[in-house]
Amino acid sequence: MTDAAFTPRVFSGIQPSGGLTLGNYLGALKRFVEMQDAGTFECVYCMVDLHAITVWQDPEELRKNTREAAAAFIAAGIDPARSILFNQSQAPEHAQLAWIFNTVARMGWMGRMTQWKDKAGKNSENASLGLFAYPALMAADILAYHATHVPVGEDQKQHLELTRDIAAKFNHDYDVDFFPITEPVIEGPATRVMSLRDGTKKMSKSDPSDMSRINLTDDADTISKKFKKARTDPEPLPETYAELKDRPEARNLVDIFAALSGVSTDAVMAEHGGAGWGQFKPRLAEVAVEKMAPMTDEMNRLMADPGEIDRILGEGAGRAREIAAPILAKTYDIVGLIASK
Ligand code: AMP
Ligand code: TRP
């Protein structure tokens, strides 16, 4: 069976382990909406709460963050009638398939994951077993839907390679052509949005400094303040993008500007090359506020009715399970597990 035999289907997920950032929006959400609107894919988007709890989450915060992430998806343009939107734990097939993949994946593969090494750090003896097995659950998320395409930011590339390895090893070991070899979709000018305080670190919801990121819930004043205080070198913007090569903070702000305004980085340089930060940063803040304020307003409106968000997630989970349940049943059968008829 070739991959052309599979329905074109997109799966992607975001951890509700904190409020979402501009990095999540530009690297992930914006792409999710484009793939939905392209009309060529069935799209399945998931708040991966089971992944979030691989590191400690306060239960009430987790619930709030899950609803807030769902609100962000909808505010960004995901239509729950056209795409499937749900939280992972409501579709038990993810955890069930992940167990099978725990038996397929090898310890050595997991140990080489940079996210594991970064998150577990020197204290890996004390990290949760779930954090180590995280990529097998991620492979299950994707493969429970036979997803063919997975839009993500640059940091997820290695996990997607592992997903392909798991699919290939399963197909090989059981001598089947059952799981597709999924294509990562890592595209656009902002697949890696960096911290506003340190141009060598990615912008992250878990960074201790709130000034390092733009949260999707930040108001206009906060957004302006954060961009104005963003760390840069003292030089003005050069004339060409290539000259930003060794200036990570400056390049990051240009990338953000391009991604938010939907133009190429060359177009940004053509217009702003030679400008000082006193000129460029306020302009960037303006563009960001213009783009983000309507989204933040919509998120707040949706968050005022958590019952409605829960209804949407429950309905999405029902539709997700209709796809995942038969794929899981077939997997059990291939493996030799006896299932009730
Ligand atoms: P996470 O917040 O780690 O669950 O990430 C959810 C999605 O957002 C994944 O596709 C990530 O690759 C993407 N993402 C997270 N942070 C960034 C960032 N700073 N720049 C670009 N994409 C990001
Ligand atoms: N690991 C991803 C991240 O931290 C989140 C995720 C979980 C995911 N399952 C997924 C992304 C499946 C894409 C597809 O960003």
Give the Cα separation of 23 and 324 in Å (integer). 29
Q: Rounded to an integer, what distance in angstroms lies between the CA atom of residue 75 and that of residue 70?
A: 9
Annotated active-site positions, please? 119, 202, 205
Residue 339: band (very low, low, confident or very high) from pLDDT cuts 50, 70, 90: confident
- What would the pLDDT profile of 172-208 be if each residue is shown by its tens digit? 999 999 999 999 999 877 889 999 999 999 999 989 9
Residues having CB within 6 Å of any atom of ligand 2: 11-13, 15, 48, 51, 138, 141-142, 150, 152, 156, 159
CATH number of 210-301: 1.10.240.10
In the predicted model, what is the mean pLDDT of the chain?
Answer: 95
User: Residue 304 has which token pair?
Assistant: 């005022």
Ligand that lies nearest to the alpha carbon of residue 87, given by its number in the listed order: 2
At residue 1 the predicted structure's pLDDT band, cuts being 50, 70 and 90, is very low
Tell me phi and psi for residue 201, to 5 degrees.
Answer: -115, 145
* Strand spans (E) along 161-293: 183-185
Residue 274 gets the label, from left (phi > 0), alpha (psi -120 to 50) or beta, of: left
Q: How far apart are CA 186 and CA 161, in angstroms?
A: 13
Pocket test for ligand 2, best of 158, 159, 163, 202 (most atoms within 8 A of CB): 159
Secondary structure class of 329 (helix, strand, coil): helix
pTM: 0.94
pLDDT tens per residue, range 70-105: 999 999 999 999 999 999 999 999 999 999 999 999
The residues spanned by each domain of the chain are 210-301
Q: Whose structure tokens read 């059981």?
A: 174
- The CA 235 to ligand 2 mean position distance, Å, reads 37
